[in-house]
Amino acid sequence: MRILITGQSGFVGRVLFKELQNRGYTVRGTNRTASHRHVMRDIVAVGDVGPSTDWSEALQETDVIIHLANRAHVLDESSRDPLSLFREINVEGSIQLAKQAAAIGVKRFIFVSSIKVNGERTDEYPFTPEDQPNPQNPYAVSKTEAEMALRRVAQVSSMEVVIIRPPLVIGSGAKGNFQRLTGLVRSGIPLPIGSINNRRSIVSLGNLVDFLIHCIANTQAANQTFLVSDGVDLSTPDLIRMVASSMKQSVRLFPFPVSLLKMVAKIVGQQGTANRLCGSLQLNMEKNRRLLNWTPPYSLQQGIRDAVKHETNPSQSGEKILHD
């Protein structure tokens, strides 16, 4: 079976590409530029992902696409019109790829979306794939619109679409929220989060990659939506303690009223950060077990150990686009 991975050079794509090769698949990847082409003949440059991208060379003899290339969510958005940029890449770029793929007979299109399609937090019950979408920011809106558009392509073609919504992905080279978390641990600063009693789902890179590969040929995955995590939900304090232990660092967490913590965060313009630290976000993966007979092969502890093993420079920041 011949697999195409868009965004092959990204955080997930690099590991997925190697693992597919290790399992005997014929794999091709795409990047924005041709910089890798002289080294790897199975990498195709496609330019910027958007409504006019020509995917014809990359799609040759492709059976299954795993679409990772996207404009990713960033905490410090600087664009004056981020929704337009998200739509250009995440929606129109995905539609263009899907239509070209369907036209040449690609069998399955696996789209890596985001749990943010469901919403930003859970209260009484974990999110399920059947929940009504509730996107709260431009990135999540673009992923929601992309999912809807891909389902429409599937309805008018023979190509199957599989949608996968991960939460925070941790692994070696992870940036964003996880990089900030490891930076806090490394700083040694006492943290006023000892009173937080939330529950958050996480997926380690190894488990996400395994699940993506599991969805390549499983007939039950056709035209389905899945949520994926490590299957263990942690409070923010417990997650930080586990990360600190893996980093062989000490961490000091002291109790502080959560309501006051949120109030202070709002005053200093960090309300979103406080909501992520204090709020719950849980995923129900019963569908994965029931329909696909899949359970996470790696423990959360192992995922965290792998994630902190080769840390990137915490000073690195900026927009992360997986196809670049």
Which amino acids are annotated catalytic? 139
61: left (phi over 0), alpha (psi -120 to 50) or beta: left
Distance CA 16, CA 185 (A): 29
Phi first, then psi: what are they for 32, rounded to 5°?
-75, -40
HEC sequence for 279-311? CEECECCHHHHHHHCCCCCCCHHHHHHHHHHCC
Rounded distance between C-alpha atoms, residue 267 and residue 264, angstroms: 5
How many Å separate Cα 292 from the centre of its chain?
20
Instruction: Give the C-alpha separation, 62 to 4, whole Å.
Output: 6
The H-or-E segment that residue 99 falls in is: helix 93-103
Q: How many helices (H) and strands (E) does the chain have?
A: 12, 10
Enumerate residues 6+ apart whose C-beta is below 8 A from 227. 115, 118, 127, 128, 129, 164, 165, 166, 167, 283, 284, 285, 287, 288
Secondary structure letter of residue 248 according to DSSP: T
Count, residues in the chain: 324
